[in-house]
A and B are shown apart, each in its own frame.
Chain A
């Protein structure tokens, strides 16, 4: 049972434009949502998180939006840069440090 879903396996965006990565979840008990970025041959790197009591969190070029009623979150990257090209994982956390990951979306930012 996959509780966190990323339905787009890939996304291609022009440099300087906005990248929007989407994620859906099924378990309303999740307390925190996180985004990770993964380069080849490296482990995932934590990017940004949001508590379930908030609807937006911003950190530089990265903003995460949470819509609890729709059980949906998104990551916006503005402006997109070629160095942002990577696989992005959405994750959701229950208590006791139990974190579940989506399947990932491969973002390609073209110069």
Chain B
């Protein structure tokens, strides 16, 4: 298995909703990432997990809450989002180390209404 699987592919949620994005990989990668990408912009790093521990939090608002329950799973819990949070949310994984390219999922297209 050489894929990163993200669910759901599309999500529409209201500003008072609570929802979760899920990401799964079975490549034995011990680093996992959440990126946010707005249209015509580069992916922006949100969180990095290394060996299931949060190692980087790029000053992301607390309405985004990451969770890494085990080495294969990464969740992003969403609560009280704003319309400007609408974006493509990309999950990625890699071996630990800078020289290893990431394997990205196809992303979740999130719309906040």
- Which residues does A use to contact B, with CB under 8 Å? 2, 4, 9, 31-32, 34, 36, 41-47, 49, 51, 89, 93-104
Contacts and interface: CB of A to CB of B under 8 A. Distances in A.
Interface stretch (B11-19, B60-68, B71-79, B96-104): B96-104
B45 A100 contact: yes
Contacts, number: 70
A42 B105 CA distance: 7
Contacts of B107: 43
Interface residues of B, number: 29
**Chain A interface, >50% SS class:** strand
B50 A97 contact: yes
**Chain B interface, >50% SS class:** strand
Given A101-B42, A103-B41, A32 B106 contact: no
B28 interface: no
Contacts of A49: 99, 101
